[in-house]
Amino acid sequence: MKKSFLLVPILLLNCLSLFPKTFYVATTGNDSASGSLVDPFATIMRAQKSVEAGDTVYIRGGKYIMTENQITRNHRIWAEVNVLNKSGEPDKRINYWAFPNETPIFDLCKIKPENLRVMVFYITASWIHLKGIEVIGTQVTISTHTQSECFHNEGNHNIYEQLSMHDGQAIGFYLLKGSDNLILNCDAYRNWDYTSEGGRGGNADGFGCHPQPGGINNIFRDCRAWFNSDDGYDCIRASESVTFDHCWSFYNGYSPNFIELGDGNGFKAGGWGLQIDNRFPDTIPMHTIQFCLAVKNRANGFYSNHQPGGSYWYNNTASLNGTNFNMLNRTKDLTADVPGYDHVLKNNLSYASRTYDTQWIDSTKCILENNTFSVPIKVTKADFQSLDQSQLISPRKPDGSLPDIKFMKLKKNSKLIDKGVDIGFEFSGKSPDLGAFDY
């Protein structure tokens, strides 16, 4: 009898912790509050103290003007503003989500730590999910070589969804460590580091993914990058393969009034620099770039950036880039630039480059199937429903997915329909079409 009396409260306690809890953060909140809907916290850092695996933090809409007393930690060369270091568990993520139909905007314009790089969200946690957060105005205070970052991931199994990083001087999303992360439906735009190294903006990419050994299975899906002063997507010095799927990249390497700035590649898939160092991988990773769109980037649309090996390029569409597809490689010992080898290019569409449709492809050392430039097929404007670039920045759909646009979608009767080779993706009609959009 006595035993069962004791068991009841213990069981109750155990059950209570099984139910996920919900906390709230609001611009009108207070960190000594309870964190409830009517009594919200003021900061994500306070909410993190209360959460456990499976819990959700809803962030109410409005502008959070961050101040320097909210820097969690100054560490080495970094000022880390929000440090997310509490992990969820498999199938019990910790969620930091925008409150439904509201947009929380974190404005970093007042955080200008002297001689420190700004990291707005530094994430070492795993199994967390960030959704619907906007970061603007991130600063650079250093005039020599440097970079600031909006989201810096070092964790595993995280989801970054519907994030928007814009009108700052920082890289939008940055990864050096961590595996199995999904970056979904995110936008990085109008980021220009005009402070460091003469204001050329050569480090402000929209998305940077440079995983160290073990950082496998990181995927960028349905993201957009435009008017970032350096590249749209950059995975130079990646020891592991990175996948870009259904991502758009346009106007990178330019200011919003088309002043020429940094490197300006749509997708910079690889590269290692000029010397073999201790991070140089035994096996050169082959990146995958599929169903992506690159338009009017200052330099190249799809670029292998002196990579000492090939990548997989499937069903991409490029237009109005300096060069649409530039497969420039370097020898395995990094001593010389050579025409691209070991690349697999299938079903790609090139139209109206500013200079070259393709450059640096050694067709005897690559697999080329059914690309407009390898068949070849002459592409004309009559193949497309629209060439109106303004559609590229149309608002996303309510669920965060990419807008339905007509830009560079194939017209009925286009000769590019059903001209692709089956590489295992779903398609309509008799065969896959060429380019990023199946008719």
Nearer to Ca ion, 3 or 430 (CB): 430
Task: Report the site for Ca ion in 159-218 (rule: CB under 5 A).
Answer: 205
Is residue 230 close enough to count as binding Ca ion by CB under 5 A? yes
Stretch that binds Ca ion, among 75-83, 90-98, 172-180, 412-420 (CB under 5 A): 412-420
The C-alpha atoms of residue 288 and residue 324 are separated, in whole angstroms, by: 17
Nearer to Ca ion, 178 or 202 (CB): 202
Min dist CB 372 to Ca ion, Å, is: 15
- The size of the interface with Ca ion (CB under 5 A), counted in residues, is 9
Nearer to Ca ion, 90 or 198 (CB): 198
Strand stretches in 300-413, DSSP E: 300-303, 312-314, 317-319, 323-326, 329-330, 337-338, 344-346, 349-351, 356-359, 367-369
Nearer to Ca ion, 194 or 400 (CB): 194
* CB distance 250 to 275 below 8 Å: no
The C-alpha atoms of residue 89 and residue 104 are separated, in whole angstroms, by: 26
Nearer to Ca ion, 154 or 231 (CB): 231
Nearer to Ca ion, 400 or 427 (CB): 427
Q: Which of 154, 234, 357, 383 binds Ca ion (CB under 5 A)?
A: 234
Is residue 149 close enough to count as binding Ca ion by CB under 5 A? no
Min dist CB 130 to Ca ion, Å, is: 23
Rounded (10°) CA dihedral 222, 225, 226, 229:
-170
Stretch that binds Ca ion, among 116-124, 224-232, 252-260, 285-293 (CB under 5 A): 224-232
**Sign of the CA dihedral 168, 229, 231, 308?**
negative
Cross-strand pairs, 132: none
Is residue 231 close enough to count as binding Ca ion by CB under 5 A? yes
Backbone angles phi, psi at 4, to 5 degrees: -65, -30
The C-alpha atoms of residue 307 and residue 298 are separated, in whole angstroms, by: 20
Stretch that binds Ca ion, among 246-254, 318-326, 403-411, 431-439 (CB under 5 A): 431-439
Min dist CB 401 to Ca ion, Å, is: 21
b/e per residue 201-221 (b: at least 16 CB within 10 A): bbbbbbbbbbbbeebebbebb
List of residues contacting Ca ion (CB under 5 A): 205, 230-231, 234, 418, 427-429, 433
